[in-house]
Amino acid sequence: MKLRLWCCSLLFVLAVSAVCAVAQDAPAPADNKPSQAAPPAASSASGAPQGQAPGNSTDPLKRPLTEQQKKASSKALKQELSSTYKKWLNEDVIYIITPEEKSAFKQLSNDEERDQFIEQFWLRRDPTPDTPENEYKEEHYRRIAYANEHFAAGKPGWKTDRGRIYIVWGPPDQIVAHDAGGTYDRPQEEGGGTTSTYPFEDWRYRYLEGVGQEVNLEFVDPCMCGDFHLATSPNEKDALLNTPGGATQYEQMGLSSKTDRMDPFAANPGTMQAMQNSKEFDKMAMLAKVQAPPAVKFKDLEEVVSHKINVSLMPFEVRTDYVKITGDTVLVPVTLQVKNKDITFVSKDGIQRGTVNIFGRVTGITGRVAQTFEDTVQVDVPQELLEKTMDHSSLYWKAVPLRPGRYRIDIVVKDVNGDRMGTWTRGILVPEYSDDKLSASSLILADEMQKVPTKSVGAGAFVIGETKLTYPHLDGADGKPESFKHDQRMSLWMQVYNLQQDEKTKKPSAKIDYEIVNLANNQAVLHSSESTDSMSNVGEQITLEKSVALNSFQPGVYKLTVKVDDNVSKQQIAPTVRFAVE
């Protein structure tokens, strides 16, 4: 009996021990609160909780981190963030960041400063700072994506020569591709004759600021692996250069040797090859200019544009117009007006002279400079007439040919004698004149128009085609419309494009209505019409030139509408412009 009781007691003790062991090894409840019936977990010799590997940093009890653990976590995060900034510097903007900017970025001490720098970096390049979009940044990353998609060759496309040129300068105006290489007839400037080439591409840019016009870049793939490198010599694409065959025509005639072509520095003076090699040296100089900034005459004004310095002590107005030249080129006349009262005059040679320096830069949405202009404008007034001319204005006119698209124009004006400057920045959209759409140039109002001699057509200030616009009017900086005096005549100029021809008469047929409305009472004060049927030498493009006497107009603000109805295509346009009569 005693033995039986002892065995039962032993079984009870073992059962209780087993229950306790299960409770100790059981996971915590779902609310992550440890069971009060469970004893504290024992620690292993390594310092990690029992049942947890020493190398596992996960703590199911979510206990506070030690100072050492906090430092390790912070270091890992900092390394991760640092790699992000390094990628931005060494990949994203490697081709467009200036050495000064790169040096300044490397000297920043914390991430907050780096974030501010990056934000300002893109703002400085924003072609339209008055809009929420940054077209430069968007186009830059679009170009990187395009380069990675089209120019990759065992390495990302942005790292290749074609990718680099595409990212910096944009798409070329023309590409001639010889992707398979093979038989090639050399032009005479390359020595003539027939050879076999590696795959190569010729990229042509009509104009690159600081480099010049008709810039041709050649990319060669000697490994035939898709990795086209920028060539410094047309001989680099010659697959037979280092073989017995493939002699140029000049070499066959004994006027040069292949040795000279293989080593341009060894060419004998006076030979054909020496002349070709001199052109290659010129090309190397051109390639160096591809990366060089444009030369600037007015350094102080260029600094204002380059660093987006806002100066507004010297007030002036600017107007941009758009006139079609060809299907892909638009003439953009930029008219600048400065009031004489804002110019400082000094006595010189018995007259009062005011001097104004003007610097302008037109850039594409990625910051690529499309045009730079700089000029000095002098205003000479006899001493006795100086006071009377203070109410007048002086005009400057620059016609810039551009392709359709978005651009940013920065202009700085400096009053030389008064040592004052003013800035003007705007984003513009140069229109695309498609062949099947009725469209028009800008509607320009001026004091008068004059026909120019045949030799002066399209040349000179304020000349568009065969017409010179005398004193074109601009809206005021305060938004007030362009103004005319009550005793003046107002001249209007506009071109109409893409009038369709009638199949029977082979001539266009359109009606043009001119209407001027007084905006004070919305009453029409002038209405006239004309038809292309009564015009001579009418084609798909016509130029409208009219002159209106203003002596019957009451002082106030008016709206001029020129409505064009194409009777053939059934299209209509109706450009308008406001003007004031004083």
- Label the pairing between strands 576-581 and 556-566: antiparallel
In angstroms, the CA 319 to CA 312 distance is: 17
Contact 449, 467 (CB under 8 A): yes
Which tokens go with 264? 């341009």
Q: Is the dihedral of CA 458, 460, 463, 468 positive or negative?
A: negative
H or E segment to which residue 17 belongs: helix 2-25
In angstroms, the CA 323 to CA 332 distance is: 6
| Residues ≥6 apart with Cβ < 8 Å to 78 | none
In angstroms, the CA 320 to CA 398 distance is: 10
pLDDT for the residue 15? 44
Contact 452, 460 (CB under 8 A): yes
CA 123 to chain centre: 13
In angstroms, the CA 447 to CA 489 distance is: 6
pLDDT for the residue 59? 52
Of 462, 524, 523, give the one whose Cα is nearest residue 493.
Answer: 462
Report all structural domains of the chain as residue ranges with CATH numbers, in order of start: 172-290 (no CATH), 296-433 (2.60.40.3880), 434-582 (2.60.40.3880)
Local structure of 294: helix, strand or coil: coil
Strand partners of residue 544: 494
The single-letter DSSP state of residue 315 is -
Cα separation of the two ends of the chain: 132
Which tokens go with 289? 């200019």
In angstroms, the CA 272 to CA 250 distance is: 7
pTM of the model: 0.53
Strand partners of residue 362: 371, 409
In angstroms, the CA 353 to CA 347 distance is: 6
In angstroms, the CA 172 to CA 166 distance is: 8
Contact 499, 544 (CB under 8 A): no
Which tokens go with 104? 């300044």
Ordered per-residue pLDDT tens for the chain, 582 residues: 443 444 444 444 444 444 344 444 443 333 333 333 333 333 333 334 333 434 444 455 455 667 776 666 555 545 554 777 888 988 898 988 887 788 888 888 888 888 888 887 887 777 776 667 788 888 888 889 899 988 998 889 999 999 999 988 888 989 999 988 888 888 766 767 788 889 999 999 888 777 778 888 999 999 988 899 998 888 888 888 767 666 766 666 666 665 555 555 444 444 444 445 555 566 777 787 665 433 345 556 666 666 666 665 788 999 999 999 887 889 999 999 999 999 999 988 789 999 999 999 998 877 778 888 888 888 999 988 888 888 888 999 998 888 899 999 999 999 988 878 888 888 999 999 988 899 999 999 999 998 888 766 666 788 888 888 888 888 887 788 989 998 999 999 999 999 998 888 888 999 999 999 999 999 999 999 999 988 877 888 999 999 999 999 999 999 999 999 999 999 999 999 999 999
pLDDT for the residue 96? 84
In angstroms, the CA 480 to CA 519 distance is: 14
Q: Produce one character per residue of 163-182: b if its CB has 16 or more CB atoms within 10 Å, e if not.
A: bbbbbbbbebeeeeebeebe
Q: What interhelical angle do 111-123 and 67-87 show, nearest 10?
A: 20
pLDDT for the residue 384? 87
Strand partners of residue 561: 515, 576
